[in-house]
């Protein structure tokens, strides 16, 4: 494992690279956590190991305001994450051992994966959104953020919760994003993994996404929640299976 930082316009993004075999060329999958998440969360570390098991290197990266990357959580926006991931993809493309590139991300990182898929369709040969929170933009237009209400036409300075504070700019940015365009802009292979007991991101969004994508499959981890609690093995089996057959 190598641990380092990727520069993004003066912002340091914390990264870890795990290769199944240091001497061999291999495909590489970029892996991103969700909202308030980081790279050592159980479900992210489990996904990393499963991707490695399939002979694919993994570049885990923490986005603006998360984990050990620069930036304050309250100042993060989806545009900042998009700018971050473009740099991470550019970095990954430049690694001499890399054959094909893939991307996997959980929840808000799953939405980012969908956006990156369309923006970098020539680079990303397959994408794996996990419990993808692709309703964030639609919810923001309807004045909902993680179950909290705000006036979508008069954005507040911030939304304050027990566990986090979000800036008005997070909401302004989210309102401008159209995830359906990202879905129609990606023709590569897509694997969506989601639990049908997810209370954060309804499973129905993944059913809809898989029907809109040209080339997608959905694995339902029956009875599990947003982070696959108690069902990590089923999530990692689906990942291993998918990457093993690419």
Of 48, 52, 69, 108, the one binding ligand FER (CB under 6 A) is 108
Closest listed residue to residue 200, CA positions, set 107, 105, 112:
107
* Residue 139 engages ligand FER in binding (rule: CB under 6 A): yes
CA-angle at 216, arms to 80 and 222, nearest 5°: 90
Instruction: Work out which of 8, 51, 136, 210 binds ligand FER, going by CB under 6 A.
Output: 136
CA–CA gap between residue 104 and residue 79 (Å, rounded): 18
CA 71 to chain centre: 18
Closest CA to 135 of 182, 228, 205: 205
Shortest distance, CB of residue 241 to ligand FER, whole angstroms? Answer: 24
Closest contact distance (angstroms) between CB of 122 and ligand FER is 27
Does 168 interact with ligand FER (rule: CB under 6 A)?
no
Q: How far is the CB of 35 from ligand FER (least distance, A)?
A: 3
Choices 23-31, 131-139, 150-158, 207-215 (CB under 6 A): range interacting with ligand FER: 131-139
Q: Is 146 in the site for ligand FER (CB under 6 A)?
A: yes
- Closest distance to ligand FER from the beta carbon of 145 (Å): 5
Stretch of 57-65, 132-140, 210-218, 232-240 lying at the interface with ligand FER (CB under 6 A): 132-140
User: Does 205 sit near ligand FER (CB under 6 A)?
Assistant: no
Q: Cα angle vertex 172, ends 62, 92, to 5°?
A: 25
How many residues are listed for the chain in this entry? 246
> Can you count the helices (H) and strands (E) in the chain?
8, 12
How far is residue 35 CA from its own chain's centroid? 9
Spatial CB neighbours of 97, under 8 Å, sequence gap ≥ 6? 19, 24, 25, 26, 28, 57
Which of the ranges 8-16, 91-99, 139-147, 213-221 carries the binding residues for ligand FER, by CB under 6 A? 139-147
Distance, CA of 116 to CA of 119 (rounded, Å): 5
* Residue whose C-beta lies closest to ligand FER: 34
- Which of 240, 235, 243 shows the shortest CA–CA distance to 41? 235
Quote the least distance from Cβ 130 to ligand FER, whole Å.
10
* Site track 32-51 with ligand FER (rule: CB under 6 A), x = hit: --xx----------------
Q: Is 167 in the site for ligand FER (CB under 6 A)?
A: no
Contacting ligand FER (CB under 6 A), which of 52, 57, 107, 236? 107
Question: Cα separation of 160 and 162, whole Å?
Answer: 7
Q: Are 15 and 5 in contact (CB under 8 A)?
A: yes
Number of residues that bind ligand FER (CB under 6 A): 11
Binding site for ligand FER (CB under 6 A): 34-35, 107-108, 133, 136, 139, 145-146, 200-201
């Amino acid at each position: 494992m190598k641990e380092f930082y990727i520069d993004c316009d003066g912002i340091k993004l914390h990264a870890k690279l795990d290769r199944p075999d240091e001497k061999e060329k291999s495909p590489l999958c970029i892996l991103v956590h969700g909202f308030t998440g980081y790279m050592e969360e159980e479900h992210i570390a489990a996904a990393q190991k499963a991707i490695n098991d399939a002979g694919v290197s993994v570049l885990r990266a923490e986005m603006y305001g998360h984990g050990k990357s620069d930036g304050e959580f309250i100042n993060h926006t989806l545009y900042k994450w998009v700018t971050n991931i473009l740099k991470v993809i550019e970095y990954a493309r430049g690694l001499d051992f890399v054959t094909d590139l893939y991307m996997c991300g959980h929840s808000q990182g799953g939405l980012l994966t969908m956006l990156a898929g369309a923006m970098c369709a020539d680079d990303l040969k397959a994408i794996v959104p996990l419990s993808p929170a692709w309703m964030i933009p639609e919810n923001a237009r309807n004045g909902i953020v993680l179950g909290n209400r705000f006036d979508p036409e008069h954005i507040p300075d911030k939304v304050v919760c027990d566990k986090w504070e979000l800036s008005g700019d997070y909401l302004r940015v989210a309102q401008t994003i159209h995830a359906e365009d990202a879905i129609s802009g990606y023709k590569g292979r897509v694997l969506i993994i989601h639990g049908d007991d997810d209370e954060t991101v309804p499973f129905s969004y993944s059913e809809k996404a898989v029907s809109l994508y040209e080339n997608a499959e959905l694995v339902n981890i029956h009875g599990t929640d947003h982070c696959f609690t108690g069902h990590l093995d089923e999530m990692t089996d689906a990942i291993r299976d998918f990457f093993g057959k690419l």
